Chains A and B, each alone.
Chain A
Amino acid sequence: MVEAETPVAPSETAPSPTRVYRHRLPVRIWHWVNAVTLLVLLMSGLMIFNAHPRLYWGQYGANDDYAWFAIGSTPDTGYVRIGAARVETTGVLGRWTDAEGVEKTWAFPGWATIPTSYSLADGRRWHLLFAWVLAISLTLYMLWTAIGGHLKKDLHVRRDEWSPRHIWHDIKDHARLRFPTGEAAARYNILQKLSYIGVIFILLPLMIATGLTMSPAINAGAPWLLDLFGGRQSARSIHFIGAWVLVAFFLVHILMVLLAGPVNELRSMVTGWFRLPVEKAK
């Protein structure tokens, strides 16, 4: 069997693995600014949600109206309700115990929110400031990807990559944890391209647009936003769902980094330099 001859950790035993300059400075800066910004936005957003842990569809929605999603509590449990389905979440959502051992019935627990104790005012301050950081950095990054060639060089999906066979092949490789080696590892694969394009050009703009749709002043200036999302409460629901799609992206992203070699991946996002994984012996 050839496996016996395969070095256990090829990148460590190889004399001088090829290094490539994979991430340019704007990519690295935006990546880390974004990482902090999205974390602050998520945690402060959960605080804002705690003020009214119910979601609706349409123009209006308050306590007497039907909520399609709610986090709540009974005298001794906490629960999440989606439509008619109710899941008990005691200890984590709806009813939990804080650091001092005091039972709380806020939707999301203190360790997940900014600040850790209930303050809608402070949650809003953090959220509405970092929303600016997100919007400005995303705009600059979009401009740079278009002008600096990142879009064309790294994110552009080539015609052959669009073929279902190619995409299916890539999905199978990911599922088998078979990652590209050599030159191919320096480029984004099709699933990476599609997820990055989806986050940068669809999901993040959607979060900003639904966020703005919740503003009564912006509703007056741009009422078409209300029509686009079907009302302020629909926009609030989409905003909440979008946040969890971003969390899902983050989890898969972290998983991929861990599987592909966390030190090498992290270094490339800090210094820009990436060591090409050596091809396993044939």
Chain B
Amino acid sequence: MSGVMMPRRELIVRAGGLAAALPLLGACDAINDAPAVRKILSMGEEMNRASQRALIDRDALAREFTRADLSPIFRSNGTRLPPGAGYAAHAAKGFADWRVAVTGLVARPLSLSMADIRAMPQRTQITRHDCVEGWSAIGEWTGPQLRHILTAAGVKERARYIVFRCADRLGDALYYESCDMVDALHPQTILAWALNREILPIANGAPLRLRLERQLGYKHAKYVTAIEAVDSLDGIGAGKGGYWEDRIDYEWYAGI
């Protein structure tokens, strides 16, 4: 049986190889990598950001579902267990000593414990998480609104972005993300410590992850250690506003 299959398979493989060898394809990739083309391609992101900011109410809510709509299993992605002894020690103690620093352009820098965060007014929302890869999962999240924390810290008028520092190291750097003040102050933007009414699992970002409900999954920083208000993203990482934005050119504005 396999003797019959092989020649045909080889033929198909060879035909595929031939097609792939067409010089046209090399030209396509050269076009894709040309700096001028990169610049033109990035116009799409700016058009999406500008039009969505202009047309969608800044406080328009992402759809909230019911418990009947929950994904049976909420998938985790990206870092599932941050490497290193430091994080492991925190996990062993149930994150009792975890602190979240609130710094940058704020009148009162804060250092919040998990107890502080759980003592704040809480918001619970059942929302859909959309990965940039294409899949979606619905989960129930609980945590304080980011705007409550920013108000408590007295965020300054000058602040244009909020940067989220994370405990998970991927390769050469710690993960980080950022968003503008519209999303930072959005009512559904919370720092979640619970998923589906249970303490947030490590694979989903324990002890604290950002929920940025109107953007794609990679914006939802996990293992958050610091919240920093800034007026520019220059000088942070490679300056593009996020770990994947810096490395593989994911869009900073991930509303679509």
Contact = CB atoms under 8 A, between A and B. Distances in A.
| A and B pair up | yes
Interface of A: 48-49, 51-52, 54, 59-65, 90-92, 96-99, 101, 109-111, 114-117, 119-122, 124-126, 128-132, 212, 214-221, 223, 226, 232-233, 236
B1 to A, nearest CB: 12
Interface string B148-174: 000000000000000000000000000
Given A216-B255, A232-B128, A119 B134 contact: no
A153 to B, nearest CB: 34
A27 B122 CA distance: 57
A51 to B, nearest CB: 4
Interface of B: 9, 11-13, 15-17, 19-22, 25, 28-29, 32, 40-45, 47-48, 52, 55-57, 60-63, 65, 69, 71-73, 75, 128, 130-138, 213-216, 244, 248-251, 255-256
B25 A116 contact: yes
A60 B248 contact: no
A257 B135 CA distance: 39
A59 to B, nearest CB: 6
B19 A111 contact: yes
A232 B63 CA distance: 11
A115 B32 contact: yes
Given A63-B135, A216-B130, A236-B134, A115 B29 contact: yes
Contact of A54 (B29, B73, B135): B135
A91 B16 contact: yes
A236 B48 CA distance: 19
Contact of B60 (A63, A117, A130, A221): A221
B32 A114 contact: yes
Contact of A125 (B42, B57, B65, B214): B42
A125 B13 contact: no
B249 A220 contact: no
A226 B62 CA distance: 11
Contacts of A62: 71, 73, 75, 131, 135-137
B37 to A, nearest CB: 9
Q: Which of A64, A130, A216, A219 has the most B CB atoms < 10 Å from its CB? A: A216
Given A92-B12, A221-B56, A125 B249 contact: yes
Given A111-B19, A125-B45, 6 more contacts: A52-B133, A129-B44, A129-B47, A216-B213, A217-B52, A217-B255
A232 B133 CA distance: 13
Contacts of A97: 13, 16-17, 20
Nearest to A110: B20
A132 B44 contact: yes
Nearest to B183: A217
Given A109-B20, A216-B213, A218-B256, A51 B134 contact: yes
B132 A120 contact: yes
Contact of B22 (A101, A111, A214): A111
Nearest to A127: B44
A60 B214 contact: no
9 contacts: A49-B134, A62-B71, A63-B135, A91-B11, A97-B16, A99-B21, A115-B32, A221-B57, A233-B136
Given A59-B69, A116-B20, A218 B25 contact: no
A115 to B, nearest CB: 4
Nearest to A67: B135
B56 A60 contact: no
A116 B29 contact: yes
B55 A128 contact: no
Contacts of B41: 122, 125-126, 129
Contact of B47 (A91, A132, A212): A132
Contacts of A120: 132-133
